[in-house]
Each structure stands twice: as C-alpha cells, then as structure tokens.
Amino acid sequence: MPQQIPGFVHCMKAISKTISNDPEKLKQQWDGQILTADFWIELAMDSKRRIEKNGQALLKNSRRFSDQLFDGYNALFAVHCLQEYSKQQEADSKFKQAVELLFL
C-alpha cells in the first residue's frame, strides 16, 4: 500500500528519534526481551541514519525502501514500527488489517 509509506516512514523516524534521544529511558524500561536494549537502540539509531540519508528516495523507490528499512536485523525494528504505525488513526483500515494478519 504505497500511499501508507510516507506516514510509516515518518512514524519510524519519530520512534527511532525518541529512542536515540534518550537511550537510558529505554534501558530502564527494558524487561526480559530476547534482544538486549543496547541492540534495540543500535537498530533504532541505524534506522534513523538510513531514513535521514535516503530521505525522499525511500518514498519514491520501493526497492530502496525495502533494502534500507527491512534488510537483516533492521527488519525487526521496522516490523515493530509497522505495528505502532498501524495503531495510529492515519493508517488506513486495510493497512491495519494487513499488519495484523502478517505480524500479530
């Protein structure tokens, strides 16, 4: 659903910015997850860098979008952001349903 990409990228950038601005807060809240808080922070910071580096190209080129945001372990953070974006009012109902079917 290409029309959802700008909103999703904005949401992902906001989540990654929040984490990278105050990593200690995340570390304090981290509880028994499979991944360490430090690794999650690293994924958030890497995603933020990729979004800033690629900018509008992420919105125009689906290959770049998927290569930059859903490659390797970054996909873990991207899926988390997809789930968070699907909870927002801006996300369309079909998108929300697709995220639920695929990831919940």
pTM, full prediction: 0.86
Nearest of 15, 62, 94 to residue 102 by alpha carbon: 94
- Interval 23-51 mean pLDDT: 92
The total number of structural domains that make up the chain: 1
Q: How many CB atoms lie within 10 A of CB 44?
A: 24
pLDDT band at 92 (very low <50, low <70, confident <90, very high): confident
- Domain extent, residue 19, equals 2-103
